């Protein structure tokens, strides 16, 4: 039997919001997105909280993502994330998720964040949690700027491909490894390990978990890191046992989809 690992989706699993959408305001402030993009992203955040995003929506973001980020300075994006991380992300980390990550690390397992958001966002969030391994969307870079091409889009089956490559490289036994996600779109990720768990699941994932007798966790306590350290353990996990730009692109996809639905003529 090889080593085991724990793979965590990020949004609504480890943090209580969309990691990429959270940076919409500073991106607007620094001129990376327009006021119209901000409005669409705000609408998308509401839709994200109400229902998540399906595979079709995630797929539509891939092409838009490339155009949206083309020309952005990579260093500018990294600086924005570094300056606003503690304000925009730290207060929204689920205490239950942080405790669960620590439990896996204490048991000697590697913890890996797996997210469709951009690596420039996911890696600093991982560092905030004491996690060094991430699988995230990677944009092609030319002369310090995003070229408009996507090297790797970490969504759906692509997540499983990356997990498999990492497992082969490090000798992980996936049949004895763990995966956590809130979304049915991560079904391939959950099914590729022997110990899947649904966290704050959407309707489809909750049904899938019930059909497969998977554990379901409800995380409800986002607490800033400072408080977790003072009050540790903040919330026992047992008590809960019941892209750069990716988020903005998801927002635009959501906005367009729902706007078309509202304005479509009756038949």
pLDDT tens-digit series, residues 123-175: 999 999 999 999 999 999 999 999 988 899 998 899 999 999 999 999 999 99
| One CATH from 3.90.1150.10, 3.40.50.1000, 3.40.800.20, 3.20.20.450 for 5-228 | 3.40.50.1000
Amino acid 186: pLDDT: 93
Under DSSP, is residue 198 helix (H, G, I), strand (E, B) or coil? strand
**CA-based diameter of the chain, in Å?**
59
What are the C-alpha distances in Å from 33 to residues 21, 23, 30, 61, 252? 12, 11, 8, 16, 12
Any idea what DSSP says for residue 42?
Answer: H
Amino acid 10: pLDDT: 96
Residue position matching structure tokens 């049949």: 175
| Structure-block tokens of residue 29 | 């402030």
Amino acid 234: pLDDT: 42
Kindly list the domain boundaries of the chain, sorted by start residue. Answer: 5-228
Amino acid 218: pLDDT: 97
Asked if residue 66 lies in contact with residue 243, where contact means CB atoms within 8 angstroms, the answer is no
| Structure-block tokens of residue 237 | 């996990």
Which parts of the chain have pLDDT scores under 50?
48-49, 229-230, 233-263, 265-267
Within 8 A by CB and 6+ apart from 24, the residues are 33, 37, 38, 41, 42, 247, 248, 251
Say what the pTM is.
0.80
Q: Are strands 133-142 and 195-199 parallel, antiparallel or unpaired?
A: unpaired
Residue 181, strand partner residues = 198
**Can you tell me the distance from the alpha carbon of 177 to that of 169, in angstroms, rounded to the nearest whole number?**
15
Amino acid 198: pLDDT: 98
By annotation, the residues acting in catalysis are 9, 11
| Structure-block tokens of residue 169 | 């490289």
Amino acid 85: pLDDT: 93
């Amino acid at each position: 039997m090889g080593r085991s690992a724990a793979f965590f989706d990020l949004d609504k699993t480890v943090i209580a919001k969309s990691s990429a959408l959270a940076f919409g305001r500073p991106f607007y402030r620094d001129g990376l997105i327009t006021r119209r993009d901000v409005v669409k992203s705000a609408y998308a955040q509401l839709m994200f909280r109400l229902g998540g995003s399906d595979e079709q929506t995630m797929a539509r973001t891939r092409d838009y993502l490339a155009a949206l980020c083309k020309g952005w300075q990579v260093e500018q994006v990294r600086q924005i994330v570094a300056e606003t991380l503690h304000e925009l992300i730290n207060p929204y980390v689920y205490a239950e998720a942080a405790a669960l990550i620590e439990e896996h690390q204490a048991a000697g397992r590697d913890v890996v964040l797996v997210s469709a958001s951009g690596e420039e966002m996911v890696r600093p969030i991982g560092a905030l949690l004491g996690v060094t391994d991430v699988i995230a969307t990677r944009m092609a870079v030319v002369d310090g700027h995003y070229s408009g091409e996507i090297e790797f889009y970490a969504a759906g089956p692509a997540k499983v491909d990356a997990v498999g490559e990492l497992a082969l490289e490090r000798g992980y036994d996936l049949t004895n490894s763990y995966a956590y996600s809130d979304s049915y779109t991560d079904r391939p990720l959950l099914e590729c390990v022997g110990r899947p768990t649904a966290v704050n699941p959407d309707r489809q994932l909750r049904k899938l978990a019930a059909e497969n007798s998977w554990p379901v966790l409800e995380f409800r306590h986002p607490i800033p890191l400072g408080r977790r350290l003072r009050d540790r353990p903040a919330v026992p996990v047992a008590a809960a046992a019941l892209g750069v730009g990716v988020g903005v692109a998801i927002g635009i996809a959501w906005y367009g989809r729902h706007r078309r639905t509202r304005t479509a003529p009756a038949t």
